[in-house]
Amino acid sequence: MPRRIIAPDLLECLEHCSHQSRTVGAPMTLFEELLTAPGEDLLKILLKAAARIRNPSEPNRPARDIAKALGLTHAQLVCACGFNPAIRELPDVLEILGFPGYDALAQTRNRYFTTDIYDRLGIKDVLAVYLHVPKDMKLLQVMQYLLGTRLQHIEERIEATVNSLIIERYKKEMRSIYNDGAAQIEFAEERLANTHSGFRALLNEVTMIVESRLIPIGDIFFRDNILPEEKRRLIIKRLIPRALVQTRLKDPGISNQERKMLEEQLLLIEQ
């Protein structure tokens, strides 16, 4: 499905939204404990929570009561356990949670992860998933299928509401996707193909991709579908060597707008 382009007035509003850096050195949350726990520890945590339940509200769906006993949402419990690679070899845990098998848990996990917009899954939960998933190749492959759908839902919500809190969290999420290794080359290429995306401009996403080293900087800089302004930002951040700018200027096919920008930046570099 093609993405829509943000209107200029909406983009202007988005650009005024501030962003905050991720908290460094924060204590591990229960979500993160479940996400990263070895199989035996995960089983112990869930058994203790299940033992505290006296009057189950849904006997056939124990995961909801277990989540409540742990002080989590159902989405948090399902995603924390579902993105823990140990769960694939833990039929006892699946039974405790009320899922007939791993595929059923994974289906519910995927639905929550792709549709929830910082409601039942907080931004810290989402960032924890991106940090953890690249450590397991199977989960990393699954994530490539989930990212596009999740981001489409978030971007549609931003276009509809221009909610500054969602925009701030979206920026944090995108930085994590690239910096923590959840993004693969195919994901980056798909984002780059959408040349006139307002979200790409909002995020300064080309710079994110360059800094992630997913695609060589020389490859990106010589592409015609990278806008002059995006290239200017790369030069200003000193990500483009002077020699690359000079080589690009020798190309007779570049636009007048790009040529003018490159000549101006080259003069600044030489000062």
Q: For 38-57, how does the pLDDT look when each residue is reduced to its tens digit (9 = 90+)?
A: 999 999 999 999 998 877 77
CA gap 82, 109 in Å, rounded? 6
Structure pTM?
0.85
pLDDT for residue 228 is more than 80: yes
pLDDT band at 196 (very low <50, low <70, confident <90, very high): confident
DSSP output for 57-117:
S-TT-HHHHHHHHHT--HHHHHHHHHT-GGGGG-HHHHHHHT-SSHHHHHHHHHHHHHH--
pLDDT for the residue 29: 93
For residue 10, pLDDT over 50 is answered with no
The torsion defined by the Cα of 67, 72, 74 and 79, in degrees rounded to 10, comes to -110
Local confidence band at 271 (pLDDT 50, 70, 90 cut-offs): low
* Predicted confidence band of residue 59 (pLDDT cuts 50, 70, 90): low
C-alpha 169/C-alpha 117 separation (Å) is 9
> What is the spatial distance between Cα 172 and Cα 130, in angstroms, rounded to a whole number?
11
User: Is the pLDDT reported for residue 11 higher than 60?
Assistant: no
| Percent above pLDDT 90 for the chain | 81
Q: Mean pLDDT throughout 87-109?
A: 94
For residue 236, the model assigns a pLDDT of 94
* Sequence ranges of the domains in the chain: 8-183, 206-271
